[in-house]
Amino acid sequence: MKEEKIIVPANGYLMLVVFLVLFFGPIFYAINFEQPEYLLILIPALILAFGFVMVQPNGSRVLLLFGKYVGTIKKNGFYWVNPFYTKKKISLRASNFDSERLKVNDKLGNPVMISTILVWRVQDTYKAAFDVDNYENFVRVQTDAAVRKLASMYPYDNFADEGHDEDITLRSSVNEVSEALEREIDERLSIAGIEVLEARIGYLAYAQEIANAMLKRQQATAIVAARHKIVEGAVSMVEMAIEELNKNEIVELDEERKAAMVSNLMVVLCGDKEAAPVVNTGTLSH
């Protein structure tokens, strides 16, 4: 048998009444009728006591008879089974696993620190009990392996200046990366009968040896992008100023004066410091 078998054993309360009768009955007869041979009935009564089993909500008991798989009890309650059964307890509750921070290389070869948060539970008790040695340790090891593989599939960030124009990155594509991680872990843990409820990146950062350099690079990229927007806005404002001056015929500007005005406006609009105006008390030519 290589699949889970769900069983519902005998009612434990009914067998508890039988046990109490077999246990206290011989004692009563031995004392009142002075017949100690009734005490021999205590032996099978005590053997029956080993058959009681209690299953809590979201719990299970895997039953073995001399090494042979008999079945699994998943329904919570108080039961009685064969006293010679070996009863292995496996929890069906959802469990959290926060992996250690691993140093791995992303798709571009940059060392990053990454960890994952995994929510999982046992779905198939047969696979969890017999297909792997220790299913809890199996979850930890395979999760770390999946995280290492995932980190090597995507870059940490998108650096268009190097020609790496990736649609999915570890830093910005949270949903896509989480879905890929969940699929990878679920595929690895299915052999142990583990169901992956949720998997997502818990920690992500550049490794310490390149963190400062990458931070400066990100700041430089942000400054260049901001300057690009400022220049676009400045050019638009200069065009609008020249058009309004010509439209309203406020002043006649030749090409040389237009160039001077454009230069001054660009300096004022694009500079990162306040401009110091110079008041011209002469003519436009001086």
Which of 90, 114, 137 delimits the end of a domain? 90
Number of domains in the chain: 3
pLDDT value at residue 280: 59
Q: 124-160 burial, b for 16+ CB within 10 Å, e for fewer?
A: bbbbbbbebeebeebbeebbbebbeebbeebbbbbbe
Tokens representing 163 are 């020609």
Residues 105 and 161 in one domain: yes
Tracing tokens 């220790």 back to the chain, one arrives at 134
Kindly state the average pLDDT of the residues 250-278: 64
Residue 165 lies in a domain: yes
Tell me the per-residue pLDDT of 217-247, one tens digit each, with 9 for 90 and over: 666 566 666 666 777 776 777 777 777 666 7
61 by Cβ neighbours in 10 Å (0-12 / 13-18 / 19+) ranks as buried
Least confident of 53-57, 173-177, 265-269: 265-269
Residue 286 lies in a domain: no
CA–CA distance, 93 with 121 (Å, rounded to integer): 6
Residue 179 lies in a domain: yes
- Domain range for 179: 95-206
pLDDT value at residue 40: 76
Position with higher pLDDT, 280 vs 107: 107
Residue 285 lies in a domain: no
**CB-based contacts of 273: which residues, under 8 Å, 6+ apart?**
none
Residues 61 and 108 in one domain: no
CA–CA distance, 234 with 265 (Å, rounded to integer): 8
Residues 131 and 220 in one domain: no
Contact 60, 89 (CB under 8 A): yes
Residues 49 and 100 in one domain: no
Tell me the per-residue pLDDT of 198-222, one tens digit each, with 9 for 90 and over: 988 888 887 776 556 566 666 656 6
Tell me the per-residue pLDDT of 11-70, one tens digit each, with 9 for 90 and over: 888 888 888 888 787 777 777 766 677 677 778 888 888 989 999 999 999 999 998 999
Tell me the per-residue pLDDT of 119-163, one tens digit each, with 9 for 90 and over: 999 999 999 999 898 999 999 999 999 988 888 888 887 755 554
CA 108-178-222 angle, 5° bins: 50
Q: 47, 58, 112: which is closest to 80 by C-alpha? A: 47
Residues 160 and 146 in one domain: yes
Residues 246 and 218 in one domain: yes
